[in-house]
Amino acid sequence: MKETPKELKIHQNLMSGTMSIDGFLGNDERHFHEIIEADRNELKLLDISTDEIADRLEYFTDKAFESYDGPVIIDKKYKVFYDSFRGKILCPFDHPGVYRKGSITLKNLQNDLEVCWTPLNIHLIREHCFFEGKGSTHRLEPTILSKVLF
């Protein structure tokens, strides 16, 4: 596929070793446009929007961040743990913003399903509909998110 210089830059940013050790594509062979397109279609089938998912992730992130140490129970249904790391990370799509490093683990106590995300994930989902490539450390499956977060 022919890429514009901007797309080429994004593609390089998404690959391992450029902006993060693991990168954002995992072992996914698809172009990032195809990854985004496939997830967009899946969201349609699930009848859920990127904003709805991002809002939920943000809600839990903020609540867990306020709690400082140890896991917290939120709304009697979610066990959430915020693991904070030093440092910031940039958006691989060349946005000016910086995002806190850290990971948030949430367990839905009703169905025992668990997901883990980073502050950057929230931005990538909201602004880019990018859930990362299959096999990537922070890949989030829309289907699983829809079962865990709501």
Interface residues toward Zn ion, by CB under 5 A = 91, 93, 95, 127
- By beta-carbon proximity to Zn ion, the closer residue of 33 and 95 is 95
Nearer residue to Zn ion within complex by CB, 91 or 106: 91
- C-alpha angle with apex 137: 71 to 75, nearest 5 degrees? 30
Judged by DSSP in three states, 63 sits in helix
Tell which phi-psi region holds residue 10, choosing left (phi > 0), alpha (psi between -120 and 50) or beta: alpha
* Distance in Å, CB of 81 to Zn ion, minimum: 26
- Residue closer to Zn ion by CB (options 57, 91) is 91
Phi, psi of 10 (to 5 degrees): -60, -45
Q: Would you state the torsion angle of the CA atoms of residues 4, 49, 82, 70, taken in this order, to the nearest 10 degrees? A: -170
Closest to Zn ion by CB, 58 vs 127, is 127
Closest CB 127 distance from Zn ion, rounded Å: 5
Chain Cα centroid distance, residue 36: 12
**Smallest distance, Zn ion to C-beta of residue 8, A:** 17
Alpha-carbon distance of 91 to 79, in angstroms, equals: 28
Q: How far is the CB of 113 from Zn ion (least distance, A)?
A: 27
